Amino acid sequence: MPASGAINNWRPALTQPERARQQTSQAIGLLRQASAPDLHHLGWAVLWLALAAGMEVLGPLLGKRLIDEHLLPRHLDWSRMAFLLGGVLLTGWIASWVRYLQLVRLSGVAMRSVQRLRERVYGHVLRLPMVFFDRAITGQLVSRVTNDTEAVKGLYIQVLFVILDSTIVLVGTVSAMAWLDWRLMTIVVALLPFVLLIVWAYQRLSAPAVTRARQLRSDINAQIAESIGGMTVLQANNAEERFGKRFAATNAEHYTQRLAEIRANAWLLRPALDMLNIILLASVIFMFGQRDMSAAEVGVLYAFINYIARVIEPLIQITMQFSQLQQSVVATSRVATLLAEQSAPEHRAGSAAHTRHAANDDGAPAIEIEALDFEYIEGQRVLHQLSLDIPQGSFFGIVGHTGSGKSTLLSLLLRYYPAPHGSIRMNGMLLDEIDNEQFRADVGLVPQDPFLLAASAHENIDMGRGLPQREIEAAARAAHCHDFIMAMEDGYQTMLGEGGSRLSSGQKQLIAIARALAGKPRILLLDEATSRIDSHTEQIVQEAMNELRGKVTIIAIAHRLSTIREADRIIVLNHGRIVEQGAHEELMQIDNGLYQRLYLLQQLAA
C-alpha cells in the first residue's frame, strides 16, 4: 500500500471540450470567490458602465435634433439650441466621467481580488504536504502565485468588462440606428460581419508570432534566473561570452516575433478596418443620396456617421478579447487546481498540555518507533519494520550508506509525510495527535542545507518568532556563533546576503543550529549538519551538542562518524533496516560489522 494517496493520484484523462468546460467552471468559481467581498462594487461598476454606454448613444440623437429641428430649417430658437448643444456636450462629458468612475471601481475590485487570491494561494502552498513538493517545479509554483493570479485581474478588466461594455454599446447603438432609420441600419449591420472576418484573419496571421514571443519571453526570464543562480560556475568556466551570445540570440528572435506581430497589425488590421469604415460611410452616404433630400434627414446622416465608429470599435474589442479570455481562463483554472491540492492534515489543537504532561510525569521516551514501514512509491519499501526507543535527553546518532533511509526516517519524525504503517510516538503521544503549534515548538531541525534568508543575523535566528535580543544571543552563544556575529560590522543587524552568501559554510551551519536552539526545542534533529564544515567547526558543533546533553534529546544523522562518536547510542541503517545499534565502542567490537567498516574506511581516508 502506498504511504500516501497523494503520490499516486491518478485521474482519467479529459477530452478537450471536457477540459475547456472544467477550466471555465473552475475560473468562474475562483472569480466569484475572489470578488465575493466586493460584490456591491461590481454592481456599481456595471451600473456606471450602462450609464456611460447610454450617454454615448444619446449624444448623437441630441445632435440629430439640433440639426433637423433648428439648424437646417433655420429655426433659431437659441435657448432650445443651447439646451440641445449643451446636451451633446454634457452627455459626452458625463460618459467619460462615468467611465472613469467605473474604471476606478473595477480596478479596485480586480486588484483586491488579486491581492486576496495571491495571499490565499501563498498561504495554501505553505501548508501543502511534502509529497507535493517532491513533484513540484519551483518556477511553475512561483508563476502560479505571481502571474497566474494576475490573470484574474485580466479576466475582469481586459476581458469581461470590455466584452460587457462593448456589447452594451453595440446593442444600444444598433437599436438607436434602427429607431432612426431601419434601412440604413440594415446596410451597416450587413457589413459588420466583415469586421469579424478581418479580426479573425489578423489573429490567424499574428497568432504564431504572439505565441512564439510569449515563449521567448519566458526563455529570457529563465536564462537570466539560471545565469544569476549559477554565476560562480558560469564565471569559473569562462562562459560569460557564450551565455551572452545565447541571450542575444533569444532576445533577437523575440524582437523579430514582436515585429511580425506589429507588422500584421499595421499592414492588415488597421488598414482593412479603416477601409471598411470608409465603405460603410460611403454606403450610408450613397443610400442617403438616393433619397429626396429633406431637411429632416440630414440629422439622421449626422447620427449615423457618429454611430458607425461606435459600432466598429466594440466589435473589434469583443473579437480581440476572445484569445485573451482563453488565456485568462486557463491561467485562473491553474490557480484553482493548485488550490484544490490537499493541504497537510491539520493536527488538532488543545492537546499541548497533555503532551507536556506525558513527558514530565509518565517518563515516556522522547521517541518511540514501533514496526515502522514506509514507501514513497507503491511496492518500493524504503523502511522495514523499524522499532526504536529514544529516551528523553539522550543523544542518538543515525548512520548508514547513502540511500539507507536516514533522511526518510527524519522526514517521518518531522511529520513531512502522512502517518505510515507502524507507529511513532513523541513524548508518549502518537505524532498525529500532537497539535501543530506544539509539535513545531517541541521539535527543532538543523537541515543539511542551512537555508539562510537574505536578512540580518538576528532575523535569521529569530525566524519571525519575535524573540528578545537576549534569547537570540543565548541561542547564538549555545551554537558558538555569537563571536563571529559580533565581529561583523553591524553585529546581529548585519545583513547576511542572499542564502547567507557572505558567510562560510560552517558559519551558516552554526547560524542554523542557533536558529533551531532559539525555539527551545525538546528534541533536536540534525540532518548531516557537519557534512560541509571543516574539522575545527565540527569540533565547535560537537561542543555545542555536548553542552545540550541531558537537556535536549538529540538525534543526529551523520556521514562523518566523528560527529556522533560521543553519542549515547548509534543506530546503523542498511537498506531501511536497523542492522546494528549501540555506543561507539560497542559497535567497534562487532567484527566486520557495518559500523566498524564505515569507521575504519573514514579513518583511512582521513
Ligand X SMILES: Nc1ncnc2c1ncn2[C@@H]1O[C@H](COP(=O)(O)OP(=O)(O)OP(=O)(O)O)[C@@H](O)[C@H]1O
The least CB distance from residue 591 to ligand X, in Å, is: 24
Q: Of 392 and 408, which has the nearer Cβ to ligand X? A: 408
Say which residue the cell 497568432 belongs to: 207
The least CB distance from residue 347 to ligand X, in Å, is: 22
CA dihedral 507, 511, 517, 521 (to 10 degrees): -110
The least CB distance from residue 444 to ligand X, in Å, is: 19
The least CB distance from residue 531 to ligand X, in Å, is: 9
CA–CA dist 395, 407 (Å, integer)? 17
All cell numbers assigned to 57? 448613444
The least CB distance from residue 383 to ligand X, in Å, is: 8
The least CB distance from residue 215 to ligand X, in Å, is: 30
All cell numbers assigned to 160? 469581461
The least CB distance from residue 551 to ligand X, in Å, is: 27
The least CB distance from residue 565 to ligand X, in Å, is: 18
- Which DSSP letter does residue 71 get? I
Q: Of 383 and 485, which has the nearer Cβ to ligand X? A: 383
> What residue ranges bind ligand X (CB under 6 A)?
134, 376-377, 382, 400, 402-408
Residue 557's DSSP bridge partners are 398, 527
Q: Of 108 and 403, which has the nearer Cβ to ligand X? A: 403
Q: Of 134 and 274, which has the nearer Cβ to ligand X? A: 134
Crossing angle between the packed helical segments 78-126 and 16-35, to the nearest 10 degrees? 100
What is the number of helices (H) and of strands (E) in the chain?
23, 10
The least CB distance from residue 527 to ligand X, in Å, is: 8
Q: Of 15 and 402, which has the nearer Cβ to ligand X? A: 402
Backbone angles phi, psi at 102, to 5 degrees: -65, -40
Strand order in the sheet with 395-400: 443-446, 523-527, 553-557, 395-400, 569-574, 577-582
Q: Of 154 and 405, which has the nearer Cβ to ligand X? A: 405
Q: Of 358 and 398, which has the nearer Cβ to ligand X? A: 398
Q: Which burial class, exposed, middle or buried, applies to 252 when counting CB atoms under 10 A from its CB (0-12, 13-18, 19+)?
A: exposed
Q: Of 363 and 403, which has the nearer Cβ to ligand X? A: 403
Q: Of 347 and 384, which has the nearer Cβ to ligand X? A: 384
| Coil vs helix vs strand at 144 | helix
The least CB distance from residue 399 to ligand X, in Å, is: 9
The least CB distance from residue 460 to ligand X, in Å, is: 24
CA–CA dist 194, 182 (Å, integer)? 20
| Coil vs helix vs strand at 373 | strand
Q: Which burial class, exposed, middle or buried, applies to 437 when counting CB atoms under 10 A from its CB (0-12, 13-18, 19+)?
A: exposed
Q: Are 584 and 396 in contact (CB under 8 A)?
A: no
> Residue 22 CB: number of other CB atoms within 10 A?
14
Q: Of 92 and 593, which has the nearer Cβ to ligand X? A: 593
Backbone angles phi, psi at 366, to 5 degrees: -60, -45
Q: Of 302 and 376, which has the nearer Cβ to ligand X? A: 376
Q: Give which of 265, 585, 235, 507 is closest to 497, Cα–Cα.
A: 507
Q: Of 227 and 404, which has the nearer Cβ to ligand X? A: 404
Query: In this structure, which amino acid lies at residue 230?
Result: G
CA angle 394, 399, 401 (to 5 degrees): 170
Beta strands in 279-438 (DSSP E): 367-377, 380-390, 395-400, 421-426, 429-430
- Which DSSP letter does residue 383 get? E
Q: Are 421 and 381 in contact (CB under 8 A)?
A: no
The least CB distance from residue 334 to ligand X, in Å, is: 24
| 234 φψ region: left (φ > 0), alpha (ψ -120 to 50), beta (else) | alpha
All cell numbers assigned to 3? 504511504
The least CB distance from residue 422 to ligand X, in Å, is: 16
Residue 185's DSSP bridge partners are none
Q: Of 77 and 134, which has the nearer Cβ to ligand X? A: 134
The least CB distance from residue 134 to ligand X, in Å, is: 4
CA–CA dist 166, 409 (Å, integer)? 61
Rounded CA Rg of the chain: 36
Q: Of 79 and 402, which has the nearer Cβ to ligand X? A: 402
Distances (CA, A) of 258 to 64, 273, 287, 317, 512: 44, 21, 42, 20, 48
Q: Of 113 and 530, which has the nearer Cβ to ligand X? A: 530
Query: In this structure, which amino acid lies at residue 73?
Result: P
The least CB distance from residue 420 to ligand X, in Å, is: 13
Q: Are 206 and 265 in contact (CB under 8 A)?
A: yes
Q: Are 40 and 73 in contact (CB under 8 A)?
A: no
